């Protein structure tokens, strides 16, 4: 009994640990597409429960009826054919599959036929191991955090720069692959304000488990405020001596790959994530809390923190240089 209790305790501890790390709850939908998929999940569970209950009830009935007991004599004549039963257990599974298949097919192809006139457009590009988000109608480029307005249908154009990735935000909708050389599309309609965990749903290399991002669903007013802030250029805040030194280090070592402006023109030719709102982000490298300690850890040895990343370790920088660079990055706020 103690062993069983220990096993259950370990399982519950593991489950609680998983939910604390990230919220990937498909059973708590926050978007129209996720709600529809949740309905399909419930339908499939109900069908499976009907089958399971039927089998268990029949099993218990026959075990009880034909149990060995004093005075029990098995029937001498045993039938090995029963057309009615054979037809029933052949036709019934087909009917159950049909009940499940019809709404599923309707959901998949119905979504493809939706009118996207007036829908907001976002271009998503996946690279090992980070996410780039472009808002072509707003001339905004950012990374790692996707901002969407509540109640607005969003058509997402999906691209990959290297290998096959998969865009997945469980609480907002299903998965869609990003394939090199091919453009895929999917739509999301967020219905609840909040922050939702997204990640790559396709194994893509050593840093796959760290390829995460956040989707922030804002009210219409807050979303427009975010757009207005992103359009403003950084640099209005007066920098301290350390931050100014960090800016110098950044221009010497990081500017060739990273932009600190969110406009499309400023991000042309940049191979690394946009850093215009780095100081506002909740995560460093997509998965660590945005603290000074974690920023320094990431800057000093990126490949150790996120295996397989293309970000190189800067050469010839002292601890003071790293501290100054970290301080400057924290000033990049909108």
Strand bridging mode 154-160 / 145-149: unpaired
DSSP per-residue letters across 172-204: T---EEE-TT--EEEEE-B-S-EEEEEEE-S--
**CA dihedral (279, 280, 286, 288) positive or negative:** positive
Using an 8 Å Cβ cutoff, are 218 and 187 in contact? no
Average pLDDT, integer, range 30-34: 93
Q: What pLDDT does 329 receive?
A: 95
Domain boundaries, the chain: 2-66+85-113, 120-231, 241-331
Q: What is the mean pLDDT of residues 230-242?
A: 83
Average pLDDT, the chain: 88
Q: Which two tokens stand for residue 320?
A: 């003071």
Between 112 and 186, residue with greater pLDDT: 186
Residue located via tokens 């790293």: 322
What is the average per-residue pLDDT within 62-85? 81
Give counts: helices (H), strands (E), the chain.
Answer: 8, 12
pLDDT band at 291 (very low <50, low <70, confident <90, very high): very high
What architecture is the 120-231 domain classified under in CATH?
A: Sandwich (2.60)
Rg (CA), the chain: 27
Residue 314 has pLDDT above 60, yes or no: yes
pLDDT, tens digit, 9 for 90 and up, residues 86-118: 898 899 989 999 999 999 888 888 777 788 888
At residue 157 the predicted structure's pLDDT band, cuts being 50, 70 and 90, is very high
- pLDDT (average), residues 30-59: 93
Q: What pLDDT is attached to residue 9? A: 46
CATH class of 241-331: mainly beta
Tens digit of pLDDT for each residue in 210-232? Answer: 999 999 999 999 999 999 999 88
N-terminal to C-terminal alpha carbon distance within the chain: 57
Nearest to 310 by CA among 179, 128, 178: 128
Q: Give bridge partners of residue 143 from the DSSP assignment.
A: 132
Whole-number Å distance between alpha carbons of 258 and 270: 6
Nearest to 28 by CA among 147, 164, 161, 170: 170
What's phi and psi for 247, nearest 5 deg? -65, -40
145 SS3 class: strand
Which of 248, 276, 245, 43 is CA-nearest to residue 144?
276
Query: Do 120-231 and 241-331 fold alike per CATH?
Result: yes
Dist CA 178 CA 182 (whole Å): 8
In this prediction, residue 5 carries a pLDDT of 43
Residue 22 token pair: 């990230």
């Amino acid at each position: 009994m103690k062993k069983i209790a220990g096993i259950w305790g370990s399982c519950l501890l593991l489950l609680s640990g998983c939910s604390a790390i990230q919220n990937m709850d498909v059973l708590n939908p926050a978007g129209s597409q996720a709600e529809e998929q949740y309905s399909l999940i419930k339908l499939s569970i109900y069908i499976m429960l009907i089958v399971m209950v039927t089998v268990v009830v029949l099993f218990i009935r026959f075990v009880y009826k034909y149990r060995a007991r004093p005075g029990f004599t098995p029937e001498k004549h045993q039938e090995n054919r029963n057309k009615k039963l054979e037809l029933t257990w052949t036709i019934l599974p087909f009917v159950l599959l049909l009940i499940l298949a019809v709404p599923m097919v309707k959901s998949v192809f119905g979504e493809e036929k939706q009118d996207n006139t007036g829908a907001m457009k976002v271009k998503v590009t996946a690279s090992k191991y980070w996410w780039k988000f472009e808002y072509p109608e707003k001339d905004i480029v950012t990374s790692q955090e996707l901002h969407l307005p509540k109640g607005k249908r969003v058509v997402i154009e999906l691209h990959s720069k290297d290998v096959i990735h998969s865009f997945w935000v469980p609480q907002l909708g299903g998965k869609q692959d990003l394939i090199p050389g091919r453009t895929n599309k999917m739509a999301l309609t967020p219905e609840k304000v909040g922050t939702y965990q997204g990640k790559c749903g396709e194994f893509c290399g050593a840093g796959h488990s760290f390829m995460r991002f956040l989707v922030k669903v804002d009210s219409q007013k807050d979303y427009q405020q975010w757009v207005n802030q992103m359009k403003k250029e950084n640099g209005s805040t007066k920098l301290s001596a350390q931050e100014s030194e960090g800016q110098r280090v950044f221009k010497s070592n990081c500017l060739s790959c990273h932009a600190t402006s969110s406009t499309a023109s400023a991000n042309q030719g940049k191979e690394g994530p946009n850093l215009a709102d780095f100081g506002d982000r909740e995560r460093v490298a997509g998965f660590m809390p945005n603290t000074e300690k974690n920023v320094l850890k990431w800057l000093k040895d990126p490949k150790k923190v996120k295996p397989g990343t293309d970000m190189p370790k800067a050469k010839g920088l002292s601890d003071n240089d790293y501290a100054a660079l970290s301080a400057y990055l924290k000033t990049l706020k909108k």
